[in-house]
Chain A
Amino acid sequence: MFTYFTHRVLVMIPTLLVISVITFIIIQLPPGDYLSNQMAELIASGDRAAIEKLAFLRQEFGLDKPMLEQYAVWLGIWPGNNGFSGILQGNLGWSFEYNLPVGEVVGDRLFLSLVLNFTTMLFVYVVSFPIGVYTAVRQYSFGDHAMTFIGYIGLATPNFLLALILLFLAKKHFGVSIGGLMDEEYIDTDMSWGKFLSICEHMVVPVIVIGTSGTAGMIRRLRANLLDELQKQYVTTARAKGLKNYRLLLKYPLRMALNPFVADIGNLLPQMISGSAIVAVVMSLPTSGPMLVSALQSQDQYLAGSFLLFLAALTVVGMFVSDLALAALDPRIRLGSEASK
Chain B
Amino acid sequence: MSEYRYPVKELVSDYIRAGSGVFVPLGLILFTDLLPLVTYIMVALILLFGIYGLRTMLRQATVITIDDIGARQEGPLGAIYDRRIRWSDMRDFRLRYYSTRRDGKGGWMQLLLRCRDGSDSRGPIRIDSILSDFEEIVHQVHDSALERGLSIDPTSATNLASLGIGDGDPAARPPDHPPDHPADPVLPS
Residues of chain A whose beta carbon lies under 8 Å from any beta carbon of chain B: 1-4, 6-11, 13, 76-77, 83-84, 88-90, 232-235, 237-238, 241-243, 248, 251-252, 256, 323, 327, 330-334, 336-341
Contact A341 B129 (CB under 8 A): yes
Contact B103 A238 (CB under 8 A): no
Contact A333 B129 (CB under 8 A): no
Q: CB of B77 within 8 A of chain A? A: no
Contact partner of A331 among B98, B100, B183, CB < 8 A?
A: B98
Contact partner of A88 among B28, B55, B163, B182, CB < 8 A?
A: B28
Given contacts A9-B45, A337-B103, A338-B162, contact A252 B185 (CB under 8 A): yes
Q: Choose among B33, B49, B106 the residue with the greatest number of A CB atoms under 10 Å from its CB.
A: B33
Contact string against A for B residues 20-35, beta-carbon threshold 8 Å, 1 for contact and 0 otherwise: 1100000010001111
Contact A241 B98 (CB under 8 A): no
Contact string against A for B residues 33-62, beta-carbon threshold 8 Å, 1 for contact and 0 otherwise: 111011000000100110010010000000
* B110 and chain A: residue at smallest CB distance: A3
Contact A234 B188 (CB under 8 A): yes
Contact B99 A6 (CB under 8 A): no
Q: Which of B78-86, B113-121, B141-149, B153-161 contacts A (4 or more CB under 8 A)?
A: B153-161
Contact A88 B130 (CB under 8 A): no
Q: CB of B17 within 8 A of chain A? A: yes
Interface residues of B, count at CB 8 A: 47
Contact B134 A8 (CB under 8 A): no
Contact A248 B185 (CB under 8 A): yes
Query: From residue 56 to 105 of chain B, which have CB atoms closer than 8 A to chain A?
Result: 96-100, 103-105
Residues of chain B whose beta carbon lies under 8 Å from any beta carbon of chain A: 17, 20-21, 28, 32-35, 37-38, 45, 48-49, 52, 55, 96-100, 103-110, 128-130, 134-135, 154-155, 158-159, 162-163, 171, 182-188
Q: Choose among B48, B52, B107, B135 the residue with the greatest number of A CB atoms under 10 Å from its CB.
A: B107
Contact B155 A330 (CB under 8 A): yes
Smallest CB–CB gap between A273 and chain B, Å?
A: 20
Contacts of A242 in B (CB 8 A): 183
Contact B130 A337 (CB under 8 A): no
Contact A243 B97 (CB under 8 A): no
Given contacts A10-B17, A341-B130, A341-B134, contact A333 B104 (CB under 8 A): yes
Contact partner of A241 among B109, B134, B185, CB < 8 A?
A: B185
Contacts of B134 in A (CB 8 A): 341
**A-B residue pairs in contact (CB < 8 Å), sample of 15:** A6-B17, A6-B52, A83-B33, A88-B28, A234-B185, A237-B186, A251-B185, A252-B185, A327-B98, A332-B159, A333-B158, A336-B104, A338-B162, A339-B109, A340-B129
Contact A10 B21 (CB under 8 A): yes
